[in-house]
Amino acid sequence: MSTETSEPPPHVSAQVFLDGIVAAVRSVFFYVLVGNYLGLGALAYEVGLNFWWMALSTLLVWAAPAQIILVSTLHTAALFEVALAVTLSSVRFLPMVAAILPMMRRPGVRQRDLLLPMHLTAVSVWVEGMRLLPLMAPERRIAFYNGLGVGLMSAAIIGGAIGFVLAAKLPPLLAAALLFFTPMAILMSSARNSRTLIDGLAFGLGLVVGPVVAAQKIGLDLMWTGLIAGSIAYAVHRLREARRKAGP
């Protein structure tokens, strides 16, 4: 094996990018995003935002919960409050980006090569990336992840566009029901991906700790949920590792 960290030739890179798009189309999230953004597009139409605004918000924000906040409060709440609500809903991106980017880093990868993977990181792309990247040679991961992200983002933009076309015929209650695609996809794909104790425990504890933290009304709910439940899961994982090493 060569110790050279050579870049894959450009045609391989394009091929890997296409593989990423194919993986996106094969992912349940592709269809979930079409459905979810269909609902979001219809709600955006309802409050008088236009089609291009919707597409641009997907391209720039790329976070369904934040976009739901934007669409439903941009015309009613103070803009400062909107920004605060958006930023509180997006704290999850910090640990998500921090957990996935090291999989793509290797000698020769510059910080700016990671800017696109960083921006494309959202729940859907992250969940599929965490599952698929470890199966892949490190030098292919950035191009694959970019393809995956662009493919899934396209699904969201298509869904948003269909939402605008159908908006006049879609009752707001049905549009809201379509937003339910997102929690369902989070639940099932996390359950499928939780193969290790630490993942399953972090997710299960998060489900319990989340509502408890929310009931305390101390604010920053998501951050505390992540820190408390994630740290307990990590501690249990470390204890078990230590016991396994010490044991026979």
CB of 9 to another protein, least distance (A): 25
Question: 3-class DSSP state for residue 1?
Answer: coil
Contacts 24+ apart (CB under 8 A), 25-29: 25/151, 27/124, 27/128, 27/148, 27/152, 28/185, 28/188, 28/189, 29/124, 29/127, 29/128, 29/152, 29/155, 29/185, 29/189
Give the count of alpha carbons within 13 A of 117, CB side only.
28
147 vs 206 by CB, closer to another protein? 206
Distance CA 132, CA 140 (A): 11
Q: Are 144 and 136 in contact (CB under 8 A)?
A: yes
CB of 15 to another protein, least distance (A): 24
> Of the ranges 4-12, 14-22, 46-54, 150-158, which one interacts with another protein (CB under 8 A)?
46-54
Can you tell me which of 16, 23, 69, 143 binds another protein, judged by CB under 8 A?
69
* Binding of another protein by 132 (CB under 8 A): no
Residue 145 touches another protein, criterion: CB under 8 A: no
**Residue 234 binds another protein (CB under 8 A):** yes
Task: Compare residues 101 and 165 and give the one whose CB is closer to another protein.
Answer: 101
18 binds another protein (CB under 8 A): no
* Nearest CA-CA partner of 15 in 144, 116, 155: 144
Q: Please give the residues from 89 up to 128 whose contact with another protein meets the rule CB under 8 A.
A: 90-99, 101-103, 105, 111, 114-115, 118-119, 121, 123, 126-127
Secondary structure class of 92 (helix, strand, coil): coil
Please identify, using beta-carbon distances, which residue of 15 and 200 lies nearer to another protein. 200
Q: What residues numbered 147-186 form the site for another protein, per CB under 8 A? A: 172-186
